Amino acid sequence: LAWPGELSPVYSPVQQRVQHDESEALQPLLLGYTPLLDVDTALQALDAAVAAYDLGRGVWPRMPVLERIQHVEQFLTQMQQKRDQVIQLLMWEIGKTYPDAAKEFDRTCDYIRDTIVALKQQDRAASHFVIEEGTLGKIRRVPVGVALCMGPFNYPLNETFTTLIPALIMGNTVIFKPAKYGVLLIEPLLQAFRDSFPAGVINVIYGRGRDTVGVLMESGKIDLFAFIGTNKGASDLKKMHPKPHRLRAVLGLDAKNPAIVLPGADLNRTVAECVAGTLSFNGQRCTALKILFVHQSLVDEFLAALTPAVEQLPLGMPWQSGVKITPLPEPGKTDFLRALLDDATAKGARVCNADGGERMGSLFRPAILYPVNAKMRLYHEEQFGPLIPVVPYQDVQQAIDYVIHSNFGQQLSLFGQDPVQLGELVDLFSNQVGRININSQCQRGPDSFPFNGRKDSAEGTLSVVDALRQFSTPTVVAAKYQ
Ligand code: G3H
């Protein structure tokens, strides 16, 4: 590929010693390069998407649904041939373990398959109906326009494709900017994009956000903004659009999902779910449990079980069998986590597990912090990493107030056995978060479930079926025949 402009190095979070000498500092491992597209090239990509959409008159937006599905099926077939390569890159670029990387790839393919099935069903169901005697109606779902899709580094394939595929299949043309970390793994799929879609329908751009995405937003030619990442990133970009009221946004943003451990909870199950919920992929999931409220009567027993469970998690490299804690891809992340930990300990929390918070290059040993309170940054800020704040409570109202007054509202977990108390809390929290998990960690899957949030955690809903609606608009055709 001949790309204009500068090349930018891509480093692995896996670090190495070049001389294999223990006294030598760890060096970042260079994986490859991506182009840094300049403004002119980004605008060419925009022109291509705008021309292919052609105000809704282009071949792609007007193509019959079943034909567009065939293009997506062709893409899926080619994508599956790249499975091993993409999984390896997920491991090397963002430090995902092999089982997690394979799961991300396979789940993304399932999502594409399920989208095709759902759209075929929807298409068959969209028959004519009688509005009233003498008037026949039909609801057509039409594309929105030019979509800009951006995904996060923690699920650079799955999170991005759960917007990219519905955007394409509903007839929008797309500009896709891969995540900053998790960018090389898109390379094996570029040929599949090229072979499967007409020119201009999907345009992949690289580069620094402000130089590339900023000018696209400022052009006012983006109709649909699908973004999974931070609130700041989304709002900075949205503000650049000259007519924000004409921009449809589908956003997955920050979260601080709490677990509330109630008196009578089954501690074995609770601890296992809390370990998985806080530490899967090093806690780098928007759906991770990010603060644990534990009833005072259980807290000693809870910490006595949680501490060894965390200490036993093997740290290592993504390809090592059984490893759970792996290097963090974001430069400076271990400093950020350490600052949160130091703030908490300076204000009275202690690290419960041996060597918790220890740093080894880009590896960070998980730390349980107890007792955490509202004066500490960890009580409010999203850590997006392996820190486990534990808050003891006497009155469940403290945990309820936390949820109700939080700026976020993605998910929460309740651990308990009393069906009446659980039922009351479910009732109370149903307006506060997008998903309530009972005796289970927070999670997005299965991807057929609605994925959304309240307050600053999301805009719009993603699921196989909901996404087809988010990326299209209904038009009613009503005809009088009498
Ligand atoms: O980071 C957000 C992901 O959508 C989380 O998905 O809960 O299945 O890990 P997950």
Residue 129, class by beta-carbon neighbours within 10 Å (0-12 exposed, 13-18 middle, 19+ buried)?
exposed
- 168 touches 175 (CB < 8 A): no
Query: Can you read off the two tokens belonging to residue 464?
Result: 């196989």
Strands 435-438 and 411-415: parallel
pLDDT of residue 459: 96
- What pLDDT digit, counting tens, does each position of 262-273 carry? 999 999 999 999
- Ligand 1 binding pocket includes 334 (Cβ within 6 Å): no
- What pLDDT digit, counting tens, does each position of 340-390 carry? 999 999 999 999 999 999 999 899 999 999 999 999 999 999 999 999 999
Asked whether the predicted pLDDT for residue 222 surpasses 80, the reply is yes
Which residue has a Cα nearest atom 4 of ligand 1? Answer: 444
Query: How far away, in angstroms, is 467 Cα from ligand 1 center?
Result: 16
Which residue has a Cα nearest atom 2 of ligand 1? Answer: 286
Query: How far away, in angstroms, is 327 Cα from ligand 1 center?
Result: 18
Confidence of residue 6 (pLDDT cuts 50, 70, 90): confident
Closest approach atom of ligand 1 to CA 159:
4
Query: Which strand (E) or helix (H) includes residue 257?
Result: strand 257-261
Residue 92 to residue 70: CA distance in whole angstroms? 32
Which residue has a Cα nearest atom 7 of ligand 1? Answer: 443
Single-letter code of the amino acid located at 148: L
* Residue 20 DSSP class: -
Q: Compute the average pLDDT of residues 282-303.
A: 98
Asked whether the predicted pLDDT for residue 468 surpasses 50, the reply is yes
Question: 475 in helix, strand or coil?
Answer: strand
**Residues paired with residue 44 on neighbouring β-strands, in sequence order:** none
pLDDT of residue 7: 84
pLDDT of residue 20: 61
Q: Compute the average pLDDT of residues 212-232.
A: 95
pLDDT of residue 215: 94
User: Among 177-181, 257-261, 312-316, which stretch is predicted with the lowest mean pLDDT?
Assistant: 177-181
Query: How far away, in angstroms, is 286 Cα from ligand 1 center?
Result: 6
Closest approach atom of ligand 1 to CA 284:
1
Residue 222 to residue 127: CA distance in whole angstroms? 31
Ligand 1 mutation target, pool 155, 161, 289, 437, most atoms within 8 A of CB: 155
- Ligand 1 binding pocket includes 290 (Cβ within 6 Å): no
- pTM score: 0.94
pLDDT of residue 103: 97
- Ligand 1 binding pocket includes 160 (Cβ within 6 Å): no
Question: 24 in helix, strand or coil?
Answer: coil
Asked whether the predicted pLDDT for residue 2 surpasses 50, the reply is no
pLDDT of residue 122: 86
User: Among 324-328, 426-430, 445-449, which stretch is predicted with the lowest mean pLDDT?
Assistant: 445-449
Closest approach atom of ligand 1 to CA 281:
9
pLDDT of residue 5: 65
pLDDT of residue 4: 59
- Ligand 1 binding pocket includes 154 (Cβ within 6 Å): yes
Cis peptide before 4 (omega within 30 of 0): no
- Ligand 1 binding pocket includes 353 (Cβ within 6 Å): no
The average confidence (pLDDT) of the chain is 94
The interface predicted TM-score (ipTM) is 0.94
- Ligand 1 binding pocket includes 446 (Cβ within 6 Å): no
Task: Measure the N-to-C terminal CA separation of the chain; round to a whole number of Å.
Answer: 60
Query: How far away, in angstroms, is 220 Cα from ligand 1 center?
Result: 31
Ligand 1 mutation target, pool 410, 443, 447, 452, most atoms within 8 A of CB: 443
Single-letter code of the amino acid located at 378: L
Question: 300 in helix, strand or coil?
Answer: helix
User: Among 92-101, 132-141, 238-247, 271-280, which stretch is predicted with the lowest mean pLDDT?
Assistant: 132-141
More confident residue, 246 or 132: 246
Query: How far away, in angstroms, is 156 Cα from ligand 1 center?
Result: 11
Query: How far away, in angstroms, is 88 Cα from ligand 1 center?
Result: 20
- Ligand 1 binding pocket includes 203 (Cβ within 6 Å): no
Query: How far away, in angstroms, is 348 Cα from ligand 1 center?
Result: 32
- Ligand 1 binding pocket includes 172 (Cβ within 6 Å): no
User: 254: closest CA among 106, 409, 480, 100?
Assistant: 409
Query: How far away, in angstroms, is 458 Cα from ligand 1 center?
Result: 14
More confident residue, 363 or 5: 363
Query: How far away, in angstroms, is 415 Cα from ligand 1 center?
Result: 20
- What pLDDT digit, counting tens, does each position of 56-98 carry? 999 999 999 999 999 999 999 999 999 999 999 999 999 999 9
Query: How far away, in angstroms, is 54 Cα from ligand 1 center?
Result: 35
- What pLDDT digit, counting tens, does each position of 7-63 carry? 888 999 887 665 566 677 777 889 999 888 888 889 999 999 999 999 999 999 999
Confidence of residue 1 (pLDDT cuts 50, 70, 90): very low
pLDDT of residue 37: 82
